[in-house]
Amino acid sequence: AQSVSQHNHHVILSEAASLELGCNYSYGGTVNLFWYVQYPGQHLQLLLKYFSGDPLVKGIKGFEAEFIKSKFSFNLRKPSVQWSDTAEYFCAVRGSGYSTLTFGKGTMLLVSP
């Protein structure tokens, strides 16, 4: 069975600070990896995804993530956060075969102006 672990439940940053959110997964085969964002009171939206190829993927709003296969990790980064990045962030994994999408427990990011 696949599983996802997100390292931090809550992160508080000041505007312009750099962000890195940790995500580790457990799965025995090839995976597809995702980061979703949920703004307050809204549904989940896709930030970025990794299927294959370049392990450094760029998403919307200046976010990027790096897939490190040897570490089973897919950490999310942003060089300079804005107040509008305040949201909950979810890492998710799906085995590349016939498999459902499994989410981590989420990281709540609060950016203070």
Partner 1 sequence: NAGVTQTPKFQVLKTGQSMTLQCAQDMNHEYMSWYRQDPGMGLRLIHYSVGAGITDQGEVPNGYNVSRSTTEDFPLRLLSAAPSQTSVYFCASSYSIRGTEAFFGQGTRLTVV
What is the residue whose two structure tokens read 């799965």? 27
The DSSP symbol for 27 reads -
Ramachandran bin of 7, using left for φ above 0, alpha for ψ from -120 to 50, beta for the remaining angles: alpha
CB-CB contact of 57 with 48 (8 Å): yes
Q: Is residue 29 at the binding interface for partner 1, with CB under 8 A as the rule?
A: no
Q: Which of 16, 46, 56, 60 binds partner 1 (CB under 8 A)?
A: 46
Minimum Å gap between C-beta 52 and partner 1 is 9
Q: Is residue 9 at the binding interface for partner 1, with CB under 8 A as the rule?
A: yes
Q: Which of 102, 94, 101, 107 is nearest to 37 (CA)?
A: 107
Minimum Å gap between C-beta 75 and partner 1 is 17
In the structure encoding, which two tokens stand for residue 97, read together?
A: 């075969």
Q: Is residue 78 at the binding interface for partner 1, with CB under 8 A as the rule?
A: no
Q: Which of 2, 49, 62, 86 binds partner 1 (CB under 8 A)?
A: 49
CA angle, corner 8, sides to 6 and 14, nearest 5? 130
Q: Which of 44, 62, 64, 66 binds partner 1 (CB under 8 A)?
A: 44
Please say which residue, 42 or 112, places its beta carbon nearer to partner 1: 42
Interacting residues with partner 1 (CB under 8 A): 9, 32, 34, 36, 42-46, 49, 51, 90, 94, 96-106
